[in-house]
Amino acid sequence: MRAPAPEAAVRGRVDVPLRFPDGYETVAEVVSFHGLVDGREHLALGLGGRGPGAVPLVRPHSECLTGDVLGSLRCDCGPQLREAAERITAAGGYLLYLRQEGRGIGLYDKLDAYALQDTGLDTYEANVALGHAPDERDYTVAAQMLLALGVSRLALLSNNPDKADQLDRLGLTVVEQVPTRVHLSSANSAYLSAKARNGHHVPDPLPRPARPPRAPGDHHAGRSAGG
């Protein structure tokens, strides 16, 4: 049953040039909000342009300090963020940066979950062992942000069917769910296998892990600072 998200409002907008570690660059219109139900400082990054009536490509991306900022190989969050920035810039839409560290359990508990994973638990089992649900994320704020931006129909860039289900219940129409690529390495294969077992649209069994990343200075895909 649908229950539309409470109303929020745009607080401010500012253009921010972005450059990723591989040299890819884009410009985001970073939008802040009033009235988000959890009181936290979530952001929408407007990327690219789209024609009148075009459906925006949207990715709700949960904050991951270890993956997004520190380059942790234990998850695929950093590569997914990088992929989303380029694909949304090309298509036109929004990257929602949601303060949902550790699938909603917080940074310190996520680090405790890492320690439990080192004893043999998977990423979901570790959250449960700490007294949490396997995934505590609520996408009400994502729906609020989109509606405040005038978005009621979207193409969802995600392998997670729960995101589509929640947004639909909150009054948005997901016209298409667009899969992200599988960013597999030897360090995150167990993590991605756990995702597949828990309903994410990830191949199971997984393909062979990717080779280690190239050293800085090697050829990079995407637009670089020099071109």
* Sign, Cα dihedral of 28, 31, 37, 41: positive
137 is catalytic: yes
Number of CB atoms found within 10 A of residue 70's CB: 9
For residues 126 and 33, what is the distance between their CA atoms, to the nearest angstrom? 33
Burial class (CB in 10 A: 0-12, 13-18, 19+), 219: exposed
* Sign, Cα dihedral of 194, 183, 118, 116: negative
CB 141 within 8 A of CB 42: yes
135 is catalytic: yes
- Catalytic residue of the set 15, 135, 138, 197: 135
- Catalytic residue of the set 59, 87, 103, 137: 137
Q: Enumerate the active-site residues.
A: 135, 137
